[in-house]
Amino acid sequence: MTMRKTPIPGLDWKKIFSATVPTDPRDHRLEGQQAMLTAREEGALLVREVEKHFPHVIQGREAILQMRDGGSRHWKQSEWIGFYPEFWFEETLARRLDCGRGPTFGNVTFDLQRTCVWDQKSHGSNSPWAPLNDAEAIQKCIEEHNGVGFLVISGESVYDEDGSFQEWHQNLKGGLSDYSRRNRARGAPRRRRKKEFIPNRFLAFRFESTDELQRAISDGWVKYFQKGMRNSDGSPRRAKIQVNLDQIPDQSIINDLRR
């Protein structure tokens, strides 16, 4: 494995590396390091530990069974890749890194909070544009918690070309949902499902203020989607925010690790 670390001016790497996961699992505190790390240092620590421990290959069947058996309500989701990293972090690193659940705004709960608030995202598409979260929730979190950061795992997806993974997942859930039956009845094309995920990039970045978020939108590397759109029942869709992972300025990146 070759790891490339983007040089980040102003970060005290000696201090960050000293705030590592304890070797004794009973010692889940970081010996006072939580209060000592800045937001950028905390983000660097989190993404470094995720890259260090996250599996090199995620098989969809194993991930879905882990989520189901672990009590996650998201194991039935067809886009399981979007939910597995959050489940994995809670099961593997949250206690040892002294992280809890993040704040809630409306129906959006941010994934984790140590000193600062962070949201975890995974991206297995060929497009550089990765969805983040609800636009209003992001803005409120920035205002009330002095910023919000994102930990993004991106990589390659292997697709279910013969439909066997989709059939297995549907049987595990108890058969086709009413929504799927209606789609089949009207002849809607089936979406290819992802059956495997190979992570190769672990990225942390952060918005410290709403002005910083608006500058990112003006500069073109962040944009809205679903804005002004409506659901099938006529109700308005909530605007969301997405980021171009290939265009984030160096000064906005906290850490960028590659496999």
Report how far residue 256's alpha carbon sits from residue 40's, in angstroms, rounded to the nearest whole number: 12
Residue 12: pLDDT band (50, 70, 90) is low
pLDDT at 29 over 50: no
Q: Which helix (H) or strand (E) holds 229?
A: none
Dihedral (Cα; 60, 63, 69, 75), 10-degree rounding: -60
Q: What is the pLDDT of residue 1?
A: 42
DSSP secondary structure of 36-83: H--HHHHHHHHHHHHHHHS-S-EEHHHHHHHHHHTT-TTTT-S-GGGT
- Token pair listed for 122: 């995974």
**Residue % of the chain over a pLDDT of 90:** 73
Residue 202: pLDDT band (50, 70, 90) is very high
The answer to whether the CB of 104 falls within 8 A of the CB of 64 is no
pLDDT in tens, 243-253: 999 999 999 99
Q: What is the pLDDT of residue 184?
A: 66
| DSSP conformational letter for 250 | G
Residue 123 sits at φ, ψ, to 5 deg, of -140, 110
Residue 23: pLDDT band (50, 70, 90) is very low
The residues with which 94 forms a beta bridge, in sequence order, are none
Q: What is the pLDDT of residue 125?
A: 83
Q: What is the pLDDT of residue 230?
A: 64
Mean pLDDT of the chain: 86
Residue 10: pLDDT band (50, 70, 90) is low
